[in-house]
Structure 1
């Protein structure tokens, strides 16, 4: 889930980052990729959102003891009701959902889900953002991360304002849309008048 200037809604970033120091010296860094998506690119206050996090092992060797963390949008609360799609083994602490001791055989993938309710949208907040990272063993540095961004009402208004010519009032859009119709109508009226004059 490339988008407008204000950010990528439902932006899924997929990359392999082999970071120095991401794993102990005697342990090879796994070749992993991650994607995070909630199936939308816009959100509103109080929306219930479910993200799907897909981790892939791109190498032939198994990747074991992985730690996966997803930072939730600011103010979001984990959904507790029966219709929550959150993976059962997720734990939440301080706005971050995490999965421990995740293992992937070579060439395989694992999907995790997390459901949360978004907070009331602040008038100054343009986007709702969530980021997921994968860590090897007890390393403090991730090997790969992905983000998902959704435009909030303030972001959508700002995007519309950015597309409008400077100083143009709201009526600008109605006028701009009506001009082609008026032009076509004037042309057809002219043709009818011209044909009537010519025939007479």
Structure 2
């Protein structure tokens, strides 16, 4: 998900200079957690900044922390249109702006998957690119766990300077952190919703 620089100016320097989307353990929904597989997920490309024309390698790690085997897992990573997924490893498939893998995990087993992505040109006011990875069961389109990662673009420097020079934020640190956390959660929910729509559309096409 790409974020315009104008939004950055309304938040704060710390919102520009930090990766705002830490991994989260699960998405809240109506399902009973006791009925869901105990999956844990992480996503990183081991960098904080990227420029148009550069490639980056994402590493997704999915672990089965439960006591029973989990079969029919779909692991998917999505990103903004400006980020082009290339060379998915270990049998991954790129379709419609997402890369997916099909997995099965024994108790305690961990799967590591990688994908290379190219950062294409963006608008001058886009200061950050964020990606999200989610895992769920192929028979159920709702994700079980998700994680996100974000990189700053060159426009972030200009946004940072504007905040410091004009004093656009006078927020106390606790409130500022809360605003950043709320923005991060909103981006994560939007990305998960996009993944849910993509999976449902794929299932409908297969059933047609």
Normalised to the residue count of structure 2, the TM-score between the two structures is: 0.67
CA offsets per residue over residues 40-85 of structure 1, 9 Å max, x none?
A: 0111111101100011111111111100110023222233xxxx5x
Which residue of structure 2 lines up, in the alignment, with residue 6 of structure 1? 16
Q: Could you tell me how far 1:93 is from its partner in structure 2?
A: 0.9
Aligned to 1:35: 42
Report the CA distance between 1:12 and its aligned residue.
Answer: 4.0
Gap change, CA 1:16 and 1:166, over 3 Å in 2? closer
**Residue aligned with 1:44, SS:** coil
Return structure 1 stretches of 4+ with deviation > 4 angstroms. none
- Equivalent residues of 2:90, 2:114 under 8 A apart: no
Matches for 1:1-200 after TM superposition, within 5 Å: 4-6=14-16, 8-9=18-19, 11-17=21-27, 19-21=29-31, 28-79=35-86, 84=87, 86-100=88-102, 102-166=103-167
Rg bigger for which structure?
1
CA distance in 1 between counterparts of 2:163 and 2:60 reads: 32
Deviation readout 1:89-113 (Å, 9 max, x if unpaired): 111111000012x011112211100
Quote the Cα distance in structure 1 between the aligned partners of 2:78 and 2:141.
15
- For residues 121-162 of structure 1, the C-alpha deviation after alignment (integer angstroms, 9 at most, x for no partner) is 321111111100001132110001111111111122212322
CA–CA separation in structure 2 for the residues paired with 1:7 and 1:110: 31
Between the aligned partners of 1:127 and 1:117, the Cα distance in structure 2 is 14
Cα root mean square deviation, aligned: 2.6
TM-score, reference length from structure 1: 0.69
Q: Matches of 1:34 and 1:95 in 2, distance apart? A: 20
Aligned length: 156
Q: Are the aligned partners of 2:82 and 2:122 in contact in 1 as well (CA < 8 Å)?
A: no
Q: CA deviation at 1:4?
A: 2.5
> How far did residue 165 of structure 1 move?
4.8
